[in-house]
């Protein structure tokens, strides 16, 4: 069966990796990307696939109903992988409005447009809408709590997490009420190539390359469950191929690491792999700064349902994944250097100054 797959947010980090994965893994499928190219979107991430004609790129917002409706019809979309979002927790604290607009209203617009499109086609059983979400909807774990799983009650604590939780509820409501073939996934922290350098891992790597301070929030003991982005893409592929409509799947790496330990590993890898560095050893750049307001202490995912039902498990260990990530950033200054615009540098400086002098 040939699919016509719409990937929203395909110029971003995870969806960009998913576009590359899908183009290679499913050569017969048609691929369409809808992306607003916000500060986090980078056409360069998928430019070779757009320029070769493999991917049809539509520049626009998921909140634009008429655009989305026309796109679904024009491209004969049968499947949607919905990843477009405002994704950075710190930005959701300083400016929550865009998160409500894109993550909640945008998801509503997409669901409604896809429902109309699906109904007009006679409600085909094999069409799918995969809503990609986060483990942050479950709240925060104490050190000895069991990991989050599909039955964990929702308890979002940041504006970002609350907006994603709302969008998850919308997606499930459209499945329950209208029978739309919707699936939801909740994933832990991703890392890997094409990661925008405001998130901890790429920010640390680029600050080391530039000799800038590495800001570690609070005591550095907050724990995240890290998953290499290609493993996440393989999970999304399995869910779209074989997941049960109406189902929810938790995706995680079984790789819990405290932030300070992670930063130490990144510093040591950079010392080993980078030919030249302004400051060596890189650990000398670490600065403890004011904590993120409401900072969730620990996330961890139990992905056993996905392993049992769909035969997925992570293939990349954190040691290998971090090494590959460091090597990728060292080899691709052409990708990240243009992102260091004056505006972006000013944003980072203001974040850093606020945290040093709260
Ligand atoms: P990202 O910030 O790197 O990319 C988001 C993309 O969405 C960008 O290309 C941006 O231009 C686009 N976008 C933003 N608003 C849009 C709009 N209104 N219309 C169309 N496009 C728009 O995000 P990411 O980190 O790759 O996350 C992708 C998805 O995965 C999000 O839904 C996020 O909640 C979820 N997720 C992320 C992680 C993670 O660790 N990064 C983990 C679990 C789930
Ligand atoms: O858990 C999944 C989530 O992971 C996704 O839903 C989000 O979209 C994604 O951004 C990510 O959220 P986090 O807040 O966990 O990621 P971030 O890289 O911003 O921060 C990771 C940890 O590192 C967190 O505990 C905060 C801390 N941190 C972050 C930055 C940017 C620092 O100590 N210093 C920093 O400069």
pLDDT digits (tens, 9 = 90+) for 64-112: 999 999 999 999 999 999 999 999 999 999 999 999 999 999 999 999 9
CATH 3.40.50.720 assigned to 4-195+226-257+295-318: yes
Q: Is 135 a catalytic residue?
A: yes
Whole-number pLDDT of residue 350: 73
Instruction: Report CA(52)–ligand 2 centroid distance (Å).
Output: 34
Please choose from 13, 107, 158, 185 the residue to mutate so as to test ligand 1's pocket, defined by most ligand atoms within 8 A of CB: 13
Give the chain's residues under pLDDT 50: none
CA of 339 to the centre of ligand 1 (A): 16
Q: How far apart are the C-alpha atoms of 129 and 210, rounded to whole Å? A: 41
- Compute, in angstroms, the gap from residue 217 CA to the centroid of ligand 1: 23
Residues with CB under 6 A from ligand 1: 8-9, 11-15, 34-38, 40-41, 61-63, 83-87, 102, 106, 132-134, 164, 187, 189-190, 196
Exactly one of 35, 86, 135, 231 is catalytic; name it: 135
301 lines ligand 2 (CB under 6 A): no
140 in contact with ligand 2, CB cutoff 6 A: no
pLDDT reported for residue 357: 60
Q: Which residue has its alpha carbon closest to ligand 2 atom 21? A: 200
Ligand 2 atom with the smallest distance to the CA of 222 is 25
Is 217 one of the catalytic residues? no
Q: Which of 35, 86, 160, 198 is catalytic?
A: 160
Ligand that lies nearest to the alpha carbon of residue 213, given by its number in the listed order = 2
Give the distance (Å) from ligand 1 centre to CA of residue 303.
21
Does the beta carbon of 89 lie inside 6 Å of ligand 2? yes
Would you state the pLDDT for residue 195? 98
| Atom 4 in ligand 1: residue holding the nearest Cα | 12
The whole-number pLDDT of residue 343 equals 67
Atom of ligand 2 nearest to the CA of 225: 1
Q: Any catalytic annotation for residue 160?
A: yes
């Amino acid at each position: 069966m040939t699919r016509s797959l719409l990937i929203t947010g395909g110029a971003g980090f995870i969806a960009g990796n998913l576009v590359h994965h899908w183009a290679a893994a499913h050569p017969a499928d048609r691929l369409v990307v809808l992306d607003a190219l916000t500060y986090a979107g980078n056409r360069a991430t998928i430019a070779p696939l757009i320029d070769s004609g493999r991917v049809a790129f539509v520049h626009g917002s998921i909140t634009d109903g008429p655009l989305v409706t026309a796109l679904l019809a024009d491209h004969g979309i049968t499947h949607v992988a919905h990843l477009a979002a405002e994704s950075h927790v710190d930005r959701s604290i300083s400016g929550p409005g865009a998160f409500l607009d894109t993550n909640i209203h945008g998801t509503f617009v997409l669901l409604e447009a896809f429902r109309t499109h699906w109904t007009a086609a006679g409600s085909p059983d094999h069409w799918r809408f995969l809503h990609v979400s986060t483990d942050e909807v479950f709240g925060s774990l104490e050190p000895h709590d069991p990991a989050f799983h599909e039955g964990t009650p929702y308890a979002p604590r940041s504006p970002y997490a609350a907006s994603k939780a709302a969008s998850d509820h919308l997606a499930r409501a459209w499945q329950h009420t209208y029978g739309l073939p919707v699936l939801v996934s909740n994933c832990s922290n991703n890392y890997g190539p094409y990661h925008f350098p405001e998130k901890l891992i790429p920010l640390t790597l680029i600050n080391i390359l530039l000799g800038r301070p590495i800001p570690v929030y609070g005591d550095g003991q907050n724990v995240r469950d890290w998953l290499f982005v290609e493993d996440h893409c393989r999970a999304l592929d399995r869910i779209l191929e074989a997941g049960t409509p109406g189902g929810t799947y938790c995706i995680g790496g079984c790789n819990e690491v405290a932030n300070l330990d992670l930063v130490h590993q990144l510093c040591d890898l950079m010392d080993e792999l980078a030919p030249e560095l302004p400051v060596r050893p890189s650990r000398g750049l670490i600065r403890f700064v004011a904590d993120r307001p409401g900072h969730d202490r620990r996330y961890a995912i139990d992905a056993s349902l996905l392993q049992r039902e769909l035969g997925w498990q992570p293939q990349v260990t954190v040691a290998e994944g971090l090494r590959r990530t460091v090597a990728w950033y060292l080899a691709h200054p052409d990708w990240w250097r243009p992102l260091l615009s004056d505006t972006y540098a000013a944003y980072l400086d203001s974040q850093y100054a606020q945290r040093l002098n709260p």
